[in-house]
Each structure stands twice: as structure tokens, then as C-alpha cells.
Amino acid sequence: MSDPSLTPIHSETPERPLSEPVLSVRDLIVEIPTRYAVLRPVDQVSYDIAPGEILGVVGESGAGKSMTGNAVIGLLDRPAHIADGEIWLKGRRIDNLRRDQMRAIRGKEIGMIFQDPLTSLNPLLRIGDQLSETILEHLPVSRAEARVRALQALDEVGIPAAAERLNSYPHEFSGGMRQRVVIALALCAEPSLVIADEPTTALDVSVQAQIIALLKRLCREKGTSVILVTHDMGVIAEAADRVAVMYAGRLAELGPVAQVLKTPRHPYTDGLVGSMPMASAGKERLRQIPGSMPRLGSLPDGCAFHPRCPRAETRCRQNPGPTLGADHGRAACWFPVGEVS
């Protein structure tokens, strides 16, 4: 056996996007200085997103999914900040832009959808006005035109009687309808990328699938790329093209959804896939990963997953797992599942 610490695992060639990526995240590190230590909620995360691609980001709560998304759109709350790495949007570096330059990108180039539609909309403003103000901010149109576009946007997300609903206030909509309005708001200036941070987590189970389907359809039609953040593997299987699995701030695995679901390489992904009800149906392997994700302040030495990992060996306790670059292997693991070590 050659020394794997020198050669990160290249088990299979990762599928590189064919065209120029819309977004490239390179070795992104987000840090939060606290009184006792500097926390790293995002640690050397790298990925690319192709035009029109839906990248699922999955992982337990606290894995750093939202932090990564917030870093990309430039909305990290102090004291969290980007400590290292680069973010490129359509060939332009955006992680070091001035505040007003980054603001102009938000909504126009990168849209964002938050978890809770009940609190995402300003309760005192008519939704038509909230749409118009966004359109007017980013597109060179008149008020009247903005109004027409607002109407279109509402219509597209499937709000019945959209013309009348422009004058409605958020509280006059149900939760599912409000999330449609939020999607309309995120897409109304036609961004090339949308970050949807758990867009269905707060919704009634019965409307979750509809919202995901709507998001997927709209982005396909417009060629918008999506970062779909979720902790639900089912949603990933349903909607995403590729999936990035995060654990304790790092990428554990990144690859095409079909491959990752069928042959997970990282033991953590393997555990996640194993606990999916669908996958377990025939295969009798419904199981939960034992233990829980360590807190940021008390990450174990070596691979952060080793206390929970069935495959952990001495090397795992001593060396942090290999970093998963955009052009490295699929899993950040010394002993990937399904490979002879």
C-alpha cells in the first residue's frame, strides 16, 4: 500500500462541470473569534456550480451549511467573517468586494431564500411593493414596468389571481403561499444563482414537495443555478444534480447525487444514506449514526468524524482527513467505504 497521506484518495474522477462555473468556492474558511478560541464553522470548503445546476448541501444541524451560504452572499453576521479562501462568481472574485458592490450583487446575481416564510416577509408592506422595490433596485425599468414584472413573478410561482394579490399583505397568505412569494422575490431580478437555505423545513409536509418542485422547475426554465441547503437526504435525492455533504464545517463528500446515494464513499455519507427511509426499505439497513456531531469548540484531533466512525483507525485520530478540493476525490476520508485499503 502506498502512503495515502501523500496522495489523497482519487477513487474516481469527479465529474467536472463542462462549462465555466457560475460559482467557484475555493478553500473557504469562515472564522468566529470568541473569548476562548477562534471557531471555524466553515473549514476549507471548495466547490463549483455549473450554470443551471442544483447543488444540494446536506449535513446535520450546525455543520456549517448556512454559514457557507451566508459567506457566499456576503451576509455573515459579525463577528463571523471570511478568514481565507476565495469566492468567484462568473469569473469575478466577490469575497473581497466593498459593501456597496456586494449589495448590488445580492438579489441581482445571487438570490436567497430563507427557511421561514412566515418571518421572511415584511408584515407591513404589500407584497407587490416588496416585489417592485426589489425589481426597481436591480433592473433599469420604470415603476409601471416593475409592477408588470412583479405580477409576472407572482404568476410564475403559481399564486392564483396574482393581479389582486399584489395588493395583499403577507399575513393574508398561507405558509406555503408565502414561501412561493419569497421564491418570487428571490428570483424577480433574475439572478444566476439562488441559495435556498432549508426552504421547506418550516413548511407543512404536504406542501414541501410542491415548493421543491416549483423551485426546481423555475430554475430549470431560467437556467438559474441553485445551492439547495437541507438536512433531508430525501430532498437531495428528489431535486439535486450533485450533493455536497458537510460535517463539522468541512466537506465530507461531493459528487453526483446518483453515485453518492448508490455508493457513498465517506462513512458519514454512508450513515446518512443508510438512515434514509427509502433506501432502507428493501435493504434492511435503517440505522442511525451513533453519537452526535462535536461542538465547534471541542473538535477532536484528527478526522472530526472519528469518534463516530466505524472505520476509524490510528491514522484518523492523528491526521485530519484529507481536504476535499474541487478537483480532488469524492470523499475526504482516509479509508473510504467500498475501497480496499
Partner 1 sequence: MLAYIIRRVFQSLLVLLIVGLVAFSMFRFVGDPVDNMLGQERTQADIDRLRGDLGLDQPFPVQYWKFLGGAIQGNFGVSYRQGRPVADIIVERAPATLELAAVSGLFAILGGIGLGVFTAIRRNGLAANAIMTLSLIGVSLPTFLIGILLIYVFSVELDLLPSFGRGEVVNLGWWSTGFLTQSGLLALILPSITLGLYQMTLIMRLVRSEMLEVLRQDYIRFARARGLRERAVNFRHAIKNTLVPVITVTGLQLGSIIAFAIITETVFQWPGVGLLFINAVQFVDIPVMAAYLMLISVMFVAINLIVDLLYFAIDPRLRVDGRAT
Binding site residues, Mg ion, CB under 5 A: 66
**318 CB contacts (<8 Å, ≥6 apart)?**
301, 302
Name residues contacting partner 1, limited to 166-185 (CB under 8 A): 168-169, 171-174, 177, 182, 185
* 277: contact with partner 1 by CB under 8 A: no
Query: Which grid cell is 268?
Result: 458519514
Tell me the per-residue interface mask from 137 to 156 with partner 1, x by CB under 8 A, - otherwise.
xx------------------
Report the nearest approach of Mg ion to the CB of residue 62 (Å): 8
* 73: contact with partner 1 by CB under 8 A: yes
Binds 210, which of partner 1, Mg ion, ligand ADP, none (CB < 5 to 8 A, cut-off by type)?
Answer: none
Report the nearest approach of partner 1 to the CB of residue 173 (Å): 6
Cβ atoms of residues 45 and 53 within 8 Å: no
Q: How far apart are CA 304 and CA 316, in angstroms?
A: 9
Amino acid identity at 15: E
* 186: contact with partner 1 by CB under 8 A: yes
* 303: contact with ligand SF4 by CB under 6 A: yes
Q: How far apart are CA 156 and CA 219, in angstroms?
A: 11
Could you tell me how many residues of this chain bind partner 1 (CB under 8 A)?
Answer: 34
Which of 39, 50, 252, 299 lies at the binding interface for ligand ADP (CB under 6 A)? 39
Pick 75 or 139: Cβ nearer ligand ADP? 75
Binds 66, which of ligand SF4, Mg ion, partner 1, none (CB < 5 to 8 A, cut-off by type)?
Answer: Mg ion
- Cα separations in angstroms, 93 against 24, 216, 258: 9, 27, 31
Which of 62, 111, 267, 325 lies at the binding interface for ligand ADP (CB under 6 A)? 62
In 103-192, the DSSP E strands lie at 110-113
Beta bridge partners of 112: 195
Name residues contacting ligand ADP, limited to 286-305 (CB under 6 A): 296
Report the nearest approach of ligand ADP to the CB of residue 66 (Å): 3
Residue of closest CB approach to Mg ion: 66
Cβ atoms of residues 216 and 33 within 8 Å: no
Q: How far apart are CA 104 and CA 85, in angstroms?
A: 22
* 203: contact with partner 1 by CB under 8 A: no
The alpha carbon torsion through 64, 70, 72, 74 (nearest 10 deg) reads -140
Other Cβ atoms within 10 Å of 70 Cβ, number: 19
Q: How far apart are CA 160 and CA 43, in angstroms?
A: 44
Tell me the per-residue interface mask from 98 to 127 with partner 1, x by CB under 8 A, - otherwise.
-----xxxxxx--xx-x-x--xxxxxxx--
- Of 266, 185, 223, nearest to 196 by C-alpha is 185
23 phi, psi to nearest 5 deg: -130, 135
* 32: contact with ligand ADP by CB under 6 A: yes
Q: How far apart are CA 280 and CA 266, in angstroms?
A: 18
Q: How far apart are CA 49 and CA 165, in angstroms?
A: 35
Q: What's the DSSP call for residue 308?
A: G
Report the nearest approach of ligand ADP to the CB of residue 198 (Å): 8
Binds 244, which of ligand ADP, Mg ion, partner 1, none (CB < 5 to 8 A, cut-off by type)?
Answer: none
Enumerate binding residues for partner 1 (CB under 8 A).
73, 75, 103-108, 111-112, 114, 116, 119-125, 133-134, 137-138, 168-169, 171-174, 177, 182, 185-186, 189
Q: For binding to ligand ADP (CB under 6 A), which residues are involved?
A: 32, 34, 39, 41, 59, 61-67, 296
